[in-house]
Protein backbone atom coordinates (compact mmCIF):
# COMPACT_ATOMS: atom_id res chain seq x y z
CA UNK A 1 0.00 0.00 0.00
CA UNK A 2 1.37 3.41 -0.98
CA UNK A 3 1.48 6.36 1.41
CA UNK A 4 -1.39 7.97 -0.47
CA UNK A 5 -3.46 4.79 -0.28
CA UNK A 6 -2.71 4.52 3.44
CA UNK A 7 -3.86 8.12 3.94
CA UNK A 8 -7.11 7.48 2.05
CA UNK A 9 -7.73 4.30 4.03
CA UNK A 10 -7.24 6.13 7.33
CA UNK A 11 -9.55 8.94 6.25
CA UNK A 12 -12.27 6.47 5.27
CA UNK A 13 -11.98 4.73 8.64
CA UNK A 14 -12.31 8.04 10.48
CA UNK A 15 -15.21 9.12 8.28
CA UNK A 16 -17.02 5.84 8.87
CA UNK A 17 -16.55 6.15 12.63
CA UNK A 18 -18.08 9.64 12.67
CA UNK A 19 -20.89 8.64 10.31
CA UNK A 20 -21.77 5.71 12.56
CA UNK A 21 -21.70 7.75 15.76
CA UNK A 22 -22.29 11.37 14.84
CA UNK A 23 -21.45 14.10 17.31
CA UNK A 24 -24.33 16.28 18.41
CA UNK A 25 -23.37 19.60 16.84
CA UNK A 26 -23.38 21.88 19.88
CA UNK A 27 -22.51 25.58 20.14
CA UNK A 28 -19.59 26.60 22.34
CA UNK A 29 -19.23 29.93 24.09
CA UNK A 30 -15.49 29.85 24.68
CA UNK A 31 -14.34 29.34 21.08
CA UNK A 32 -16.78 31.74 19.41
CA UNK A 33 -14.95 34.44 17.43
CA UNK A 34 -16.20 37.19 19.75
CA UNK A 35 -14.48 35.55 22.73
CA UNK A 36 -11.26 34.93 20.82
CA UNK A 37 -11.23 38.60 19.83
CA UNK A 38 -11.77 39.81 23.39
CA UNK A 39 -8.97 37.69 24.85
CA UNK A 40 -6.61 38.57 22.01
CA UNK A 41 -7.19 42.27 22.68
CA UNK A 42 -5.91 41.89 26.25
CA UNK A 43 -2.56 40.81 24.83
CA UNK A 44 -2.42 43.70 22.39
CA UNK A 45 -3.58 41.89 19.25
CA UNK A 46 -6.17 43.82 17.26
CA UNK A 47 -7.97 41.01 15.45
CA UNK A 48 -10.49 41.83 12.68
CA UNK A 49 -13.98 42.94 13.71
CA UNK A 50 -16.90 40.55 13.56
CA UNK A 51 -18.90 42.34 10.88
CA UNK A 52 -16.84 41.13 7.92
CA UNK A 53 -14.73 38.44 9.56
CA UNK A 54 -13.77 35.25 7.75
CA UNK A 55 -14.18 32.23 10.02
CA UNK A 56 -13.09 28.63 9.40
CA UNK A 57 -13.91 25.66 11.62
CA UNK A 58 -12.14 22.30 11.33
CA UNK A 59 -14.47 19.44 12.25
CA UNK A 60 -17.57 21.60 12.15
CA UNK A 61 -19.96 18.61 12.11
CA UNK A 62 -23.34 19.98 10.97
CA UNK A 63 -22.48 23.58 11.85
CA UNK A 64 -24.04 23.88 15.30
CA UNK A 65 -21.13 26.02 16.48
CA UNK A 66 -21.36 28.37 13.48
CA UNK A 67 -25.03 28.96 12.69
CA UNK A 68 -25.64 31.51 15.44
CA UNK A 69 -22.61 33.55 14.34
CA UNK A 70 -23.71 33.40 10.70
CA UNK A 71 -27.17 34.70 11.61
CA UNK A 72 -25.80 37.51 13.78
CA UNK A 73 -23.21 38.68 11.25
CA UNK A 74 -24.69 38.34 7.74
CA UNK A 75 -21.72 40.13 6.14
CA UNK A 76 -19.18 37.74 7.67
CA UNK A 77 -18.03 34.70 5.69
CA UNK A 78 -18.03 31.38 7.50
CA UNK A 79 -16.76 27.98 6.33
CA UNK A 80 -16.98 24.67 8.13
CA UNK A 81 -15.29 21.45 7.02
CA UNK A 82 -15.80 17.92 8.27
CA UNK A 83 -14.71 14.46 7.21
CA UNK A 84 -18.20 13.07 7.88
CA UNK A 85 -20.41 13.45 4.81
CA UNK A 86 -23.42 12.52 6.90
CA UNK A 87 -22.80 15.46 9.22
CA UNK A 88 -22.19 17.89 6.36
CA UNK A 89 -25.37 16.81 4.57
CA UNK A 90 -27.35 17.36 7.76
CA UNK A 91 -25.78 20.79 8.16
CA UNK A 92 -26.62 21.77 4.58
CA UNK A 93 -30.27 20.99 5.31
CA UNK A 94 -30.12 23.26 8.36
CA UNK A 95 -28.54 26.10 6.37
CA UNK A 96 -31.23 25.84 3.72
CA UNK A 97 -33.98 25.77 6.36
CA UNK A 98 -32.66 28.95 8.01
CA UNK A 99 -32.00 30.70 4.70
CA UNK A 100 -28.38 31.37 5.65
CA UNK A 101 -26.30 32.69 2.75
CA UNK A 102 -22.93 33.30 4.42
CA UNK A 103 -22.17 29.83 5.82
CA UNK A 104 -20.62 27.12 3.64
CA UNK A 105 -20.08 23.54 4.78
CA UNK A 106 -17.64 21.31 2.91
CA UNK A 107 -17.04 17.57 3.07
CA UNK A 108 -13.26 17.35 3.21
CA UNK A 109 -10.25 16.45 5.34
CA UNK A 110 -8.08 18.96 7.14
CA UNK A 111 -5.09 17.59 5.23
CA UNK A 112 -6.71 18.62 1.93
CA UNK A 113 -6.97 22.31 2.84
CA UNK A 114 -4.92 24.66 0.68
CA UNK A 115 -4.48 28.38 0.11
CA UNK A 116 -7.13 28.50 -2.60
CA UNK A 117 -9.66 28.99 0.22
CA UNK A 118 -8.10 32.35 1.08
CA UNK A 119 -7.16 33.74 4.48
CA UNK A 120 -9.27 33.48 7.62
CA UNK A 121 -9.35 35.76 10.64
CA UNK A 122 -10.57 33.12 13.07
CA UNK A 123 -9.79 29.41 12.82
CA UNK A 124 -11.51 27.03 15.24
CA UNK A 125 -10.37 23.46 15.87
CA UNK A 126 -12.25 22.01 18.83
CA UNK A 127 -12.15 18.39 19.97
CA UNK A 128 -9.99 17.11 17.11
CA UNK A 129 -6.28 17.51 17.76
CA UNK A 130 -5.86 14.70 20.31
CA UNK A 131 -8.02 12.21 18.42
CA UNK A 132 -6.45 12.14 14.96
CA UNK A 133 -3.27 10.58 13.49
CA UNK A 134 0.07 12.38 13.50
CA UNK A 135 -0.25 13.57 9.90
CA UNK A 136 -3.60 15.22 10.66
CA UNK A 137 -2.20 16.93 13.76
CA UNK A 138 0.59 18.27 11.57
CA UNK A 139 -2.07 19.26 9.04
CA UNK A 140 -3.88 21.30 11.68
CA UNK A 141 -0.77 23.38 12.35
CA UNK A 142 0.12 23.61 8.67
CA UNK A 143 -3.36 24.71 7.59
CA UNK A 144 -3.60 27.19 10.46
CA UNK A 145 -0.33 28.81 9.37
CA UNK A 146 -1.22 28.89 5.67
CA UNK A 147 -4.78 30.13 6.07
CA UNK A 148 -4.49 32.55 8.98
CA UNK A 149 -4.76 36.26 8.17
CA UNK A 150 -2.06 38.65 9.37
CA UNK A 151 -3.75 39.51 12.67
CA UNK A 152 -5.86 36.37 12.83
CA UNK A 153 -5.95 33.78 15.61
CA UNK A 154 -6.38 30.01 15.68
CA UNK A 155 -8.11 28.17 18.53
CA UNK A 156 -7.06 24.56 19.17
CA UNK A 157 -8.27 22.40 22.07
CA UNK A 158 -6.54 19.20 23.18
CA UNK A 159 -6.09 16.73 26.03
CA UNK A 160 -3.09 17.55 28.18
CA UNK A 161 -0.61 15.77 30.37
CA UNK A 162 -0.18 15.20 33.22
CA UNK A 163 -3.92 15.40 33.90
CA UNK A 164 -5.00 12.95 31.22
CA UNK A 165 -2.85 10.17 32.66
CA UNK A 166 -5.57 9.17 35.12
CA UNK A 167 -8.31 9.29 32.50
CA UNK A 168 -6.11 7.24 30.22
CA UNK A 169 -6.09 4.45 32.80
CA UNK A 170 -9.87 4.29 32.57
CA UNK A 171 -9.70 4.47 28.77
CA UNK A 172 -7.26 1.55 28.67
CA UNK A 173 -9.54 -0.50 30.92
CA UNK A 174 -12.49 0.20 28.63
CA UNK A 175 -10.49 -0.68 25.50
CA UNK A 176 -9.15 -3.85 27.11
CA UNK A 177 -12.61 -5.05 28.10
CA UNK A 178 -14.16 -4.22 24.71
CA UNK A 179 -11.30 -5.55 22.59
CA UNK A 180 -12.89 -8.90 21.76
CA UNK A 181 -16.01 -7.37 20.25
CA UNK A 182 -16.17 -6.26 16.62
CA UNK A 183 -19.55 -4.55 16.57
CA UNK A 184 -19.34 -0.86 17.51
CA UNK A 185 -22.48 -0.92 19.63
CA UNK A 186 -21.25 -3.97 21.51
CA UNK A 187 -17.92 -2.26 22.12
CA UNK A 188 -19.72 0.66 23.73
CA UNK A 189 -21.89 -1.66 25.83
CA UNK A 190 -18.79 -3.49 27.05
CA UNK A 191 -16.98 -0.23 27.71
CA UNK A 192 -19.88 0.78 29.93
CA UNK A 193 -19.68 -2.60 31.64
CA UNK A 194 -16.02 -1.90 32.41
CA UNK A 195 -16.99 1.48 33.86
CA UNK A 196 -19.64 -0.13 36.06
CA UNK A 197 -17.10 -2.70 37.24
CA UNK A 198 -14.70 0.07 38.25
CA UNK A 199 -17.42 2.04 40.01
CA UNK A 200 -18.73 -0.95 41.95
CA UNK A 201 -15.26 -2.20 42.85
CA UNK A 202 -14.02 1.14 44.15
CA UNK A 203 -17.10 2.50 45.91
CA UNK A 204 -16.03 1.35 49.39
CA UNK A 205 -12.37 2.29 49.00
CA UNK A 206 -11.25 5.37 50.91
CA UNK A 207 -7.82 6.12 49.43
CA UNK A 208 -7.39 9.17 47.19
CA UNK A 209 -6.64 7.12 44.06
CA UNK A 210 -9.85 5.11 44.39
CA UNK A 211 -11.91 8.22 45.05
CA UNK A 212 -10.51 9.92 41.96
CA UNK A 213 -11.05 6.87 39.77
CA UNK A 214 -14.61 6.39 40.97
CA UNK A 215 -15.45 10.05 40.42
CA UNK A 216 -13.93 9.94 36.93
CA UNK A 217 -15.76 6.71 36.09
CA UNK A 218 -19.05 8.19 37.36
CA UNK A 219 -18.56 11.24 35.16
CA UNK A 220 -17.67 9.23 32.04
CA UNK A 221 -20.60 6.84 32.55
CA UNK A 222 -23.03 9.75 32.18
CA UNK A 223 -21.75 10.66 28.72
CA UNK A 224 -23.69 9.83 25.59
CA UNK A 225 -22.63 6.96 23.32
CA UNK A 226 -21.17 9.13 20.56
CA UNK A 227 -18.95 10.90 23.10
CA UNK A 228 -17.81 7.64 24.65
CA UNK A 229 -16.97 6.25 21.21
CA UNK A 230 -14.86 9.17 20.03
CA UNK A 231 -13.33 10.31 23.32
CA UNK A 232 -12.47 6.98 24.94
CA UNK A 233 -12.69 4.25 22.31
CA UNK A 234 -11.09 6.10 19.39
CA UNK A 235 -8.05 4.48 17.85
CA UNK A 236 -6.14 7.70 18.45
CA UNK A 237 -6.05 9.58 21.72
CA UNK A 238 -2.80 11.43 22.16
CA UNK A 239 -2.65 13.79 25.14
CA UNK A 240 0.32 16.14 25.08
CA UNK A 241 2.29 18.34 27.44
CA UNK A 242 1.58 22.02 26.91
CA UNK A 243 5.24 22.86 26.24
CA UNK A 244 5.40 20.13 23.57
CA UNK A 245 2.26 21.50 21.92
CA UNK A 246 3.78 24.98 21.75
CA UNK A 247 7.05 23.54 20.39
CA UNK A 248 5.14 21.85 17.57
CA UNK A 249 3.24 25.07 16.84
CA UNK A 250 6.49 27.03 16.71
CA UNK A 251 7.89 24.67 14.08
CA UNK A 252 5.10 26.02 11.89
CA UNK A 253 5.93 29.64 12.84
CA UNK A 254 2.90 29.96 15.08
CA UNK A 255 3.12 31.46 18.57
CA UNK A 256 1.23 30.96 21.82
CA UNK A 257 -1.01 33.95 22.53
CA UNK A 258 -3.13 32.78 25.43
CA UNK A 259 -5.80 30.42 26.70
CA UNK A 260 -9.56 30.90 26.57
CA UNK A 261 -9.55 29.77 30.21
CA UNK A 262 -7.54 32.87 30.97
CA UNK A 263 -7.31 32.18 34.69
CA UNK A 264 -5.10 29.16 33.90
CA UNK A 265 -2.38 31.60 32.86
CA UNK A 266 -2.23 33.47 36.15
CA UNK A 267 0.31 32.41 38.79
CA UNK A 268 -1.59 34.52 41.33
CA UNK A 269 -4.18 31.73 41.54
CA UNK A 270 -1.54 29.40 43.04
CA UNK A 271 -0.44 29.21 46.69
CA UNK A 272 1.65 32.30 47.57
CA UNK A 273 5.01 30.52 47.76
CA UNK A 274 4.52 28.80 44.40
CA UNK A 275 3.29 32.04 42.83
CA UNK A 276 6.37 33.88 44.09
CA UNK A 277 8.76 31.29 42.66
CA UNK A 278 7.03 31.02 39.28
CA UNK A 279 6.77 34.78 38.87
CA UNK A 280 10.57 34.82 38.64
CA UNK A 281 10.53 32.73 35.44
CA UNK A 282 10.66 34.96 32.39
CA UNK A 283 9.16 32.36 30.03
CA UNK A 284 5.39 32.09 29.81
CA UNK A 285 5.44 28.57 28.34
CA UNK A 286 7.65 27.19 31.12
CA UNK A 287 5.57 29.03 33.71
CA UNK A 288 2.31 27.60 32.42
CA UNK A 289 3.79 24.12 32.15
CA UNK A 290 4.63 24.28 35.86
CA UNK A 291 1.07 25.45 36.52
CA UNK A 292 -0.21 22.41 34.59
CA UNK A 293 1.97 20.12 36.72
CA UNK A 294 0.62 21.68 39.90
CA UNK A 295 -3.03 21.68 38.78
CA UNK A 296 -2.90 18.31 37.00
CA UNK A 297 -4.40 20.03 33.94
CA UNK A 298 -6.44 17.66 31.80
CA UNK A 299 -7.55 19.86 28.88
CA UNK A 300 -6.50 23.12 27.24
CA UNK A 301 -8.06 25.61 24.86
CA UNK A 302 -5.13 27.43 23.29
CA UNK A 303 -5.10 30.52 21.07
CA UNK A 304 -2.27 30.77 18.52
CA UNK A 305 -1.19 33.62 16.26
CA UNK A 306 1.60 34.24 13.74
CA UNK A 307 5.07 34.42 15.29
CA UNK A 308 5.52 37.87 13.75
CA UNK A 309 2.84 39.38 15.99
CA UNK A 310 3.97 41.69 18.79
CA UNK A 311 2.37 40.13 21.88
CA UNK A 312 1.99 42.35 24.93
CA UNK A 313 2.64 40.35 28.11
CA UNK A 314 2.80 43.48 30.24
CA UNK A 315 -0.93 43.75 30.82
CA UNK A 316 -2.09 47.24 31.76
CA UNK A 317 -5.45 48.75 32.60
CA UNK A 318 -5.39 50.56 29.26
CA UNK A 319 -5.39 47.23 27.39
CA UNK A 320 -8.68 46.36 29.10
CA UNK A 321 -10.39 49.75 28.94
CA UNK A 322 -12.59 48.86 25.94
CA UNK A 323 -13.94 45.66 27.43
CA UNK A 324 -17.38 44.86 28.82
CA UNK A 325 -17.65 42.90 32.07
CA UNK A 326 -20.03 40.21 33.26
CA UNK A 327 -19.92 37.81 36.20
CA UNK A 328 -22.24 35.14 37.68
CA UNK A 329 -21.89 36.58 41.19
CA UNK A 330 -24.21 37.42 44.05
CA UNK A 331 -23.47 39.43 47.18
CA UNK A 332 -23.63 37.37 50.36
CA UNK A 333 -25.64 40.19 51.95
CA UNK A 334 -27.92 42.82 50.47
CA UNK A 335 -26.15 46.06 49.53
CA UNK A 336 -26.44 49.17 51.64
CA UNK A 337 -24.34 52.31 51.91
CA UNK A 338 -22.94 51.33 55.32
CA UNK A 339 -21.47 47.95 54.35
CA UNK A 340 -20.23 49.30 51.02
CA UNK A 341 -18.71 52.58 52.21
CA UNK A 342 -16.94 51.13 55.27
CA UNK A 343 -13.49 49.80 54.21
CA UNK A 344 -13.28 47.75 57.41
CA UNK A 345 -16.20 45.56 56.30
CA UNK A 346 -15.15 42.65 54.10
CA UNK A 347 -17.90 41.32 51.85
CA UNK A 348 -18.14 38.07 49.91
CA UNK A 349 -19.55 37.76 46.41
CA UNK A 350 -20.48 34.14 45.71
CA UNK A 351 -19.57 32.82 42.25
CA UNK A 352 -22.02 30.49 40.44
CA UNK A 353 -23.96 29.87 43.68
CA UNK A 354 -21.05 27.81 45.05
CA UNK A 355 -20.67 28.88 48.68
CA UNK A 356 -16.92 28.29 49.01
CA UNK A 357 -16.10 30.03 45.71
CA UNK A 358 -16.21 33.76 46.11
CA UNK A 359 -14.58 37.16 45.62
CA UNK A 360 -13.65 38.90 48.88
CA UNK A 361 -13.74 42.69 48.80
CA UNK A 362 -13.16 45.45 51.34
CA UNK A 363 -12.37 48.40 49.04
CA UNK A 364 -15.60 50.43 48.78
CA UNK A 365 -15.17 51.02 45.04
CA UNK A 366 -14.67 47.32 44.35
CA UNK A 367 -17.68 46.40 46.50
CA UNK A 368 -19.89 48.92 44.71
CA UNK A 369 -18.69 47.71 41.30
CA UNK A 370 -19.31 44.06 42.16
CA UNK A 371 -22.83 44.82 43.34
CA UNK A 372 -23.48 46.65 40.05
CA UNK A 373 -22.17 43.69 38.04
CA UNK A 374 -24.23 41.23 40.11
CA UNK A 375 -27.38 43.29 39.43
CA UNK A 376 -26.79 43.16 35.67
CA UNK A 377 -26.70 39.48 34.79
CA UNK A 378 -27.09 39.25 31.03
CA UNK A 379 -26.10 42.89 30.59
CA UNK A 380 -22.33 43.30 30.05
CA UNK A 381 -21.15 46.71 31.23
CA UNK A 382 -18.16 48.91 30.38
CA UNK A 383 -15.98 50.51 33.07
CA UNK A 384 -17.79 53.80 32.44
CA UNK A 385 -21.21 52.18 32.82
CA UNK A 386 -20.16 50.37 36.00
CA UNK A 387 -18.86 53.61 37.49
CA UNK A 388 -22.05 55.50 36.60
CA UNK A 389 -24.23 52.87 38.27
CA UNK A 390 -21.88 52.62 41.29
CA UNK A 391 -22.62 56.27 42.09
CA UNK A 392 -25.83 55.15 43.82
CA UNK A 393 -23.68 53.47 46.49
CA UNK A 394 -20.81 56.00 46.61
CA UNK A 395 -22.41 59.36 45.76
CA UNK A 396 -19.53 61.46 47.12
CA UNK A 397 -16.92 59.91 44.80
CA UNK A 398 -16.65 61.33 41.29
CA UNK A 399 -17.35 59.11 38.30
CA UNK A 400 -13.75 59.48 37.08
CA UNK A 401 -12.40 58.39 40.47
CA UNK A 402 -14.78 55.43 40.47
CA UNK A 403 -13.48 54.42 37.05
CA UNK A 404 -9.86 54.74 38.17
CA UNK A 405 -10.57 52.79 41.35
CA UNK A 406 -12.25 49.93 39.50
CA UNK A 407 -9.41 49.89 36.96
CA UNK A 408 -7.06 48.94 39.79
CA UNK A 409 -8.93 45.66 40.28
CA UNK A 410 -9.71 44.66 36.69
CA UNK A 411 -6.61 42.55 36.09
CA UNK A 412 -7.07 40.47 39.23
CA UNK A 413 -10.77 39.94 38.55
CA UNK A 414 -10.16 38.78 34.98
CA UNK A 415 -7.17 36.55 35.63
CA UNK A 416 -8.72 34.98 38.71
CA UNK A 417 -11.57 33.80 36.48
CA UNK A 418 -14.16 35.65 38.55
CA UNK A 419 -15.20 38.01 35.76
CA UNK A 420 -15.71 37.35 32.05
CA UNK A 421 -14.84 39.92 29.43
CA UNK A 422 -16.39 40.84 26.10
CA UNK A 423 -15.33 43.19 23.33
CA UNK A 424 -18.49 42.60 21.29
CA UNK A 425 -21.76 42.48 23.20
CA UNK A 426 -24.12 39.63 22.27
CA UNK A 427 -26.85 40.73 19.86
CA UNK A 428 -29.55 40.48 22.50
CA UNK A 429 -31.62 42.99 24.45
CA UNK A 430 -31.77 43.43 28.22
CA UNK A 431 -35.48 44.04 28.49
CA UNK A 432 -38.76 42.25 27.95
CA UNK A 433 -40.83 43.88 25.23
CA UNK A 434 -44.57 43.48 24.76
CA UNK A 435 -43.91 41.27 21.71
CA UNK A 436 -40.82 39.32 22.79
CA UNK A 437 -38.73 37.60 20.15
CA UNK A 438 -35.93 35.02 20.07
CA UNK A 439 -33.63 34.27 17.15
CA UNK A 440 -34.79 32.11 14.25
CA UNK A 441 -32.29 29.49 15.42
CA UNK A 442 -33.64 29.41 18.98
CA UNK A 443 -37.25 29.44 17.76
CA UNK A 444 -36.59 26.44 15.53
CA UNK A 445 -34.73 24.58 18.27
CA UNK A 446 -37.65 25.17 20.63
CA UNK A 447 -40.14 23.87 18.06
CA UNK A 448 -37.99 20.78 17.50
CA UNK A 449 -37.69 20.39 21.29
CA UNK A 450 -33.95 19.71 21.14
CA UNK A 451 -32.69 18.00 24.26
CA UNK A 452 -29.47 16.74 25.77
CA UNK A 453 -29.04 14.71 28.96
CA UNK A 454 -32.76 15.03 29.64
CA UNK A 455 -32.80 18.83 29.29
CA UNK A 456 -34.42 20.85 26.52
CA UNK A 457 -32.11 23.53 25.17
CA UNK A 458 -31.66 26.40 22.77
CA UNK A 459 -28.64 28.37 21.56
CA UNK A 460 -28.55 31.87 23.02
CA UNK A 461 -26.90 34.97 21.56
CA UNK A 462 -23.65 34.26 23.41
CA UNK A 463 -23.41 30.86 21.70
CA UNK A 464 -24.24 29.12 24.96
CA UNK A 465 -26.56 26.20 25.52
CA UNK A 466 -29.39 27.31 27.79
CA UNK A 467 -31.73 24.68 29.18
CA UNK A 468 -35.45 24.94 29.83
CA UNK A 469 -38.31 22.80 31.03
CA UNK A 470 -40.71 21.37 28.47
CA UNK A 471 -43.43 23.90 29.33
CA UNK A 472 -40.95 26.76 28.96
CA UNK A 473 -40.02 25.50 25.51
CA UNK A 474 -43.70 25.82 24.59
CA UNK A 475 -43.49 29.48 25.60
CA UNK A 476 -40.34 29.99 23.52
CA UNK A 477 -42.14 28.50 20.51
CA UNK A 478 -44.46 31.52 20.67
CA UNK A 479 -41.69 34.14 20.77
CA UNK A 480 -41.68 35.11 17.10
CA UNK A 481 -42.17 38.83 17.73
CA UNK A 482 -45.80 38.69 16.65
CA UNK A 483 -47.48 37.46 19.83
CA UNK A 484 -48.02 39.91 22.68
CA UNK A 485 -47.36 38.74 26.23
CA UNK A 486 -51.12 38.71 26.80
CA UNK A 487 -51.62 36.47 23.76
CA UNK A 488 -48.78 34.19 24.87
CA UNK A 489 -50.39 33.75 28.27
CA UNK A 490 -53.77 33.04 26.68
CA UNK A 491 -52.24 30.29 24.53
CA UNK A 492 -50.35 28.74 27.45
CA UNK A 493 -53.56 28.79 29.52
CA UNK A 494 -55.32 26.85 26.75
CA UNK A 495 -52.51 24.26 26.87
CA UNK A 496 -52.92 23.94 30.64
CA UNK A 497 -56.68 23.51 30.36
CA UNK A 498 -56.33 20.88 27.64
CA UNK A 499 -53.67 18.94 29.53
CA UNK A 500 -50.96 19.57 26.91
CA UNK A 501 -49.11 21.12 29.83
CA UNK A 502 -49.61 19.02 32.93
CA UNK A 503 -50.75 20.90 36.06
CA UNK A 504 -51.06 18.55 39.02
CA UNK A 505 -51.43 19.05 42.77
CA UNK A 506 -51.55 16.19 45.27
CA UNK A 507 -51.79 13.75 42.38
CA UNK A 508 -54.86 15.42 40.91
CA UNK A 509 -55.21 17.51 37.76
CA UNK A 510 -55.81 21.18 38.53
CA UNK A 511 -58.97 22.48 36.87
CA UNK A 512 -59.59 25.69 38.82
CA UNK A 513 -59.19 28.54 36.32
CA UNK A 514 -57.76 30.99 38.87
CA UNK A 515 -55.03 28.54 39.83
CA UNK A 516 -54.30 27.80 36.18
CA UNK A 517 -54.00 31.52 35.46
CA UNK A 518 -51.44 31.85 38.26
CA UNK A 519 -49.50 28.88 36.88
CA UNK A 520 -49.66 30.42 33.41
CA UNK A 521 -48.24 33.72 34.65
CA UNK A 522 -45.49 31.90 36.51
CA UNK A 523 -44.46 29.83 33.46
CA UNK A 524 -44.46 32.75 31.03
CA UNK A 525 -42.86 35.30 33.35
CA UNK A 526 -40.10 32.94 34.52
CA UNK A 527 -39.30 31.96 30.93
CA UNK A 528 -39.08 35.56 29.72
CA UNK A 529 -36.98 36.61 32.70
CA UNK A 530 -34.61 33.69 32.17
CA UNK A 531 -34.24 34.62 28.50
CA UNK A 532 -33.55 38.24 29.43
CA UNK A 533 -30.79 37.24 31.86
CA UNK A 534 -29.18 34.77 29.44
CA UNK A 535 -28.90 36.68 26.15
CA UNK A 536 -32.02 34.99 24.79
CA UNK A 537 -34.17 37.90 23.57
CA UNK A 538 -33.45 39.84 20.38
CA UNK A 539 -36.55 42.07 20.41
Residue-level pLDDT at 392: 94
Separation CA 441–CA 436 (nearest Å): 15
User: Using omega within 30 degrees of 0 as the cis cutoff, is the peptide bond preceding 162 cis?
Assistant: yes
DSSP per residue, 481-537: SSS-HHHHHHHHHHHHHHTSS--EETTEE---HHHHHHHHHHHHHHHHHHHHHTT--
- Is residue 376's pLDDT more than 70? yes
pLDDT at 10: 56
> What SS3 state is found at 124?
strand
In the predicted model, is pLDDT for residue 354 greater than 90?
Answer: no
**CATH of region 317-422, choose from 1.10.10, 3.40.50, 1.10.20, 3.90.930:** 3.90.930
pLDDT of residue 220: 82
Euclidean distance between CA atoms 142 and 137, whole angstroms: 9
pLDDT averaged over every residue in the chain:
90
Quote the pLDDT of residue 207: 82
Q: How confident is the model at residue 5 (pLDDT cuts 50, 70, 90)?
A: low
Question: Could you tell me the residue ranges of all domains in the chain?
Answer: 3-162+239-306, 166-223, 317-422, 440-533
Radius of gyration of the chain, Cα coordinates, nearest whole angstrom: 25
- Report the percentage of the chain scoring pLDDT > 70: 95
pLDDT score at 22: 59
In this structure, the strands spanning 347-351 and 329-331 are antiparallel
Q: H/E element holding 123?
A: strand 120-125
Q: For 224-238, how does the pLDDT look when each residue is reduced to its tens digit (9 = 90+)? A: 887 778 777 877 889
pLDDT of res. 206: 78
Work out the pLDDT band at 11, boundaries 50, 70, 90: low
- The string of pLDDT tens digits covering residues 37-92 is 999 999 999 999 999 999 999 999 999 999 999 999 999 999 999 999 999 999 99
- Give residue 9's pLDDT band: very low, low, confident or very high (50, 70, 90): low
Considering the domain 3-162+239-306 in this protein, what is its CATH number?
A: 3.40.50.150
pLDDT, tens digit (0-9, with 9 covering 90-100), for 386-426: 999 999 999 999 999 999 999 989 888 888 888 999 999 99
More confident residue, 415 or 116: 116
Supply the pTM of this predicted model: 0.90
Convert the pLDDT of each residue in 269-313 to its tens digit: 888 888 888 888 889 999 999 999 999 999 999 999 999 999 998
What CA–CA distance (Å, rounded) separates 325 from 87? Answer: 36
Strand-pair partners of 447: none
Mean pLDDT of 249-277: 91
Q: Is the pLDDT of residue 204 over 90?
A: no
pLDDT over 90 at 6, yes or no: no
Amino acid sequence: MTAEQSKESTQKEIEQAYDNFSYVSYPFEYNRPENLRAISSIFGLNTPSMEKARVLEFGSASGGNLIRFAQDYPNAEIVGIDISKKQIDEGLKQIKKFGIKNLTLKHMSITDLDESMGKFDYIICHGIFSWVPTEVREGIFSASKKLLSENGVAFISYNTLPGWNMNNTIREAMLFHAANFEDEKQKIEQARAALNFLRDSLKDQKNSYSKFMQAAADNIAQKENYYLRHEYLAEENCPIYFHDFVSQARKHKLEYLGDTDIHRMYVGNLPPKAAEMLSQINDIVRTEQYIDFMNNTIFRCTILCHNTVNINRNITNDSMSNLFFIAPIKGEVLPNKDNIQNPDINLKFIINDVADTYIAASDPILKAALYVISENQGNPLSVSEIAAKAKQYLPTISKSDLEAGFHNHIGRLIFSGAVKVMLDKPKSIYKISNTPKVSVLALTQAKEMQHANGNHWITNQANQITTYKAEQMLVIQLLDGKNTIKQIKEKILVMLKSGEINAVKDGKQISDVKQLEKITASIVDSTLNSLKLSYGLIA
